[in-house]
Structure 1
Amino acid sequence: MKVFVVLVLALASASAGLLPKSAPVHPRDRTPSISGRITNGKDAVAEQFPYQVGLSFSSSAGSWWCGGSVIGNTWVVTAAHCTDGASAVTIYFGATIRTSPKFTETVSSKDFIQHESYSSTLIRNDISLIKTPSVTFSSAVNKIALPAVASSYSTYAGETAVASGWGLTSDTATAVASHLQYTDLTVITNAVCQQTFGSLLVTGRNICVATPQGTSTCQGDSGGPLALNEKLIGITSFGSASGCQAGYPAAFTRVTYYLDWIKINSGISY
């Protein structure tokens, strides 16, 4: 979905502060491969991230891989750009090795609740819910808590959060890395993030992190979790088209902005 040239042309008369200095791209879109992991991440141990799921989406146009988070016995949350255009998804529960989950469930798009105001052009409202058959929780498969509504007023800036997933190991990676990866990332202010992506893309709906030493989310991590103190604060949304290791910020959908939307659509309270 190379929508960013269109975005720049459409907004060419806008002030420079609105426009991205580095073109953004969803981690889903960087390469056609679904293999890999977080760049420069660490191997997760079994049951370290019981809320992490892998999502294998399919459509008439092809297939792609994303991440997601279990937030209830019958609900997974992911990014809207992951569900967009899909006809079905196979959910991999309890996997540390990507191809060896504890179990899988396949559901059709009728069980997707994609945000009704999702905009692929502005990368806005990048959040979806997936209704699943009821899952019995265990040490390997469990939910992650949502943040408290009071956290809506926190920027989280300076806090260290953890991202996990099966995205690419590097910008040049081609080989499959089957092990779930994670990395600690420092949250930055939206003002700093806007210096790269502009204020049209980075709003109060987002959280951004710094990506020093080439450590970042990458292709295949889309929709996956950013967690702080065992609570889900972000959903992997977009990074720089210059590459995962280019040192530009990575942006996430801010979960506190969507607490009411999640409650209305799933019944899950924060």
Structure 2
Amino acid sequence: MSLALPVTPAQAISGGSDVTSTNHKYSYTVAVLAPVIMCAGALIDNRHVLTTVTCVNYLEPSEVEVYAGSNKYYADGIRKEVNRLTLHPNFNSANFDNNIAVLTLASPLTPKEISTYAIKTISRAAAGSRLPPAGTLSDVTSYGAIDPNYTLPDVMQHAQFSNYTPAQCQAYKPNRLTGTMFCAGDKAGFKDACPADQGAPLVYAEKLIGLYSWGSSCGLVAPNPSSPVFTRISSVNTWINTVIASTS
């Protein structure tokens, strides 16, 4: 099965910088290719990718591919078919609680593929672990467009977002945050996620702490009512481990 490119791009990081082939330390970031939209994801081992339910909801495994091993989503990488989509059973489409999905590749990435395409995996924040202190910078990466006009960059984009306290985030999103969510952004408003870039990994100290879930502002000073909200990996890690054990 092969999905034709180009797919409709998700809007992604505004104000970011290019991830070049010479500094591609973010090769745990993958593109999740579906018939209508491209999302992002994080490769956590040689057979499993984390993304959001909102990226793959209502799709069949045969409709989804993972593209890895390149700083471009359209060239120089490797495509892998997916044979299982596992959505969090407690996902809430009304408020995006538990917005997490595990994609199982039809065949694991081989040592040769990992070496040839310089692919890396990313460790996860441990279950129940705390988020980095407020103001700490974390790395976010994505392949999609860089503004609301769907302007496509040539290569993957990278930015650093500052973590916000739960009180800061809750003040802008009253009664919308749950224990599976947290906010991060750029106080200056120049670096941001844009709508629909589901699954972009947020990494701190070489640990995956979040996936972009909802509420982006695409260039407004953060935090604000539309600041990016991330699924908190430490809150769903026990479930992730259960899925991996059942699909390995």
What is the correspondence of 1:167-182 to structure 2 with a 5 Å cutoff?
167-171=144-148, 173-182=149-158
Q: How does 1:7-86 map to 2 (within 5 A)?
A: 33-34=8-9, 37-46=12-21, 47-58=24-35, 63-86=36-59
Tell me which residue corresponds to 2:68.
Answer: 93
**C-alpha separation between the residues in 1 aligned to 2:133 and 2:121?**
22
- 1:232 corresponding residue in structure 2: 208
Structure 1: segments with no counterpart, 5+ residues? 1-31
Q: Residues 85 and 158 (structure 1 numbering): CA distance in 2 closer, same or farther, change over 3 Å?
A: same
Question: Which moved further from structure 2: 67-76 or 136-145?
Answer: 136-145
Name the CA shift for 1:177/1:153 in 2 (closer, same or farther; >3 Å).
closer
Equivalent-residue separation in structure 2 for 1:101 and 1:78 (angstroms): 22
Q: Which has the higher contact order (CA 8 A, sep 6+)?
A: 1
Deviation at 1:209? 0.8
Aligned residues: CA RMSD: 2.0
Per-residue displacement from partner, 1:67-107 (whole Å, max 9, x unpaired)? 00000111000011111122221211112122014210122
SS in structure 2 opposite 1:192? helix
Q: Give the Cα separation in 1 of the matches to 2:205 and 2:59.
A: 32
Counterpart secondary structure, 1:213: coil
Shift of 1:155: 5.4
Work out whether residues 210 and 231 of structure 2, in 8 Å CA contact, stay in contact via their aligned partners in 1.
yes
Contact 1:71/1:143 (8 A) holds in 2: yes
Query: TM-score with structure 1 length normalisation?
Result: 0.78
Correspondence 1:113 to 2:89: no
- The yes-or-no answer on 1:159 pairing with 2:132 is no
Structure 1 residues 104-253: aligned runs within 5 Å: 104-108=79-83, 111-132=84-105, 133-136=107-110, 137-138=114-115, 140-149=118-127, 152-154=129-131, 156-171=133-148, 173-199=149-175, 201-211=176-186, 212-219=188-195, 221-240=197-216, 243-247=217-221, 248=224, 249-253=227-231
Counterpart CA distance in 1 for 2:53 and 2:150 is 26
Q: Matches of 1:85 and 1:101 in 2, distance apart? A: 29
Quote the offset at 1:177 in angstroms: 1.8
CA distance in structure 1 between the partners assigned to 2:231 and 2:70 by the alignment: 24
Query: What is aligned with 1:29?
Result: none
**Which residue of structure 1 lines up, in the alignment, with residue 78 of structure 2?**
103
Counterpart CA distance in 1 for 2:144 and 2:74 is 14
Secondary structure in 2 aligned to 1:153? coil
Report the secondary structure of 1:266's partner residue.
Answer: helix
The alignment-based identity, stated in percent, is: 25
How far, CA to CA, are the matches of 1:167 and 1:237 in structure 2?
A: 15
Aligned length: 226
TM score, norm. by length of structure 2? 0.84
Deviation at 1:203, TM superposition (A): 2.1
Structure 2 gaps, min length 5: 1-6
Whichever residue aligns with residue 113 of structure 1, its letter is: T
Q: Structure 1 counterpart of 2:52, which letter?
A: A
